[in-house]
C-alpha cells in the first residue's frame, strides 16, 4: 500500500485496527491514555509515523518506509 499523506496513514492504521479485532479501548489502555485521547490522536491533522508505529506495535505490526528518488525531468 502506498501512503502519501498523514490522513492516508491514519486511515491505514484504522483499517489495521479493524482487521485485528482489537478494541480501541484496549489499545488506548496499552498506550496509557484515555479512549477519548486515543480518538483525537487518530483524527489529528498531523498524524505521524511515530503515532502509527506506537499503535501498530500493539497490533504486532509495523510500518515499512521506502525512500525513492522522483524523476524531476518533465
Quote the pLDDT of residue 67: 87
Q: Per the structure, how many domains does the chain have?
A: 1
Per residue in 28-71, pLDDT tens? 999 999 999 999 999 998 999 999 999 999 999 999 888 888 88
pLDDT band at 18 (very low <50, low <70, confident <90, very high): very high
Asked, for residue 20, whether it belongs to a domain, the answer is yes
Asked, for residue 67, whether it belongs to a domain, the answer is no
* Structure-derived torsion over alpha carbons of residues 53, 34, 44, 47, reported in degrees to the nearest 10: -10
Asked, for residue 41, whether it belongs to a domain, the answer is yes
17: DSSP letter: H
Whether 52 and 63 have beta carbons less than 8 Å apart is answered as yes
pLDDT band at 74 (very low <50, low <70, confident <90, very high): low
Asked, for residue 38, whether it belongs to a domain, the answer is yes
Quote the pLDDT of residue 68: 85
Quote the pLDDT of residue 53: 96
Range of the domain at 16: 6-58
Amino acid at each position: 500500500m502506498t501512503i502519501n499523506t498523514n490522513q492516508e496513514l491514519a486511515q491505514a492504521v484504522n483499517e489495521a485496527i479493524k482487521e485485528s479485532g482489537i478494541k480501541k479501548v484496549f489499545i488506548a489502555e496499552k498506550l496509557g491514555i484515555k479512549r477519548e485521547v486515543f480518538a483525537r490522536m487518530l483524527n489529528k491533522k498531523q498524524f505521524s509515523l511515530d503515532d502509527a508505529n506506537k499503535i501498530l506495535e500493539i497490533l504486532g505490526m509495523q510500518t515499512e518506509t521506502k525512500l525513492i528518488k522522483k524523476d524531476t525531468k518533465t
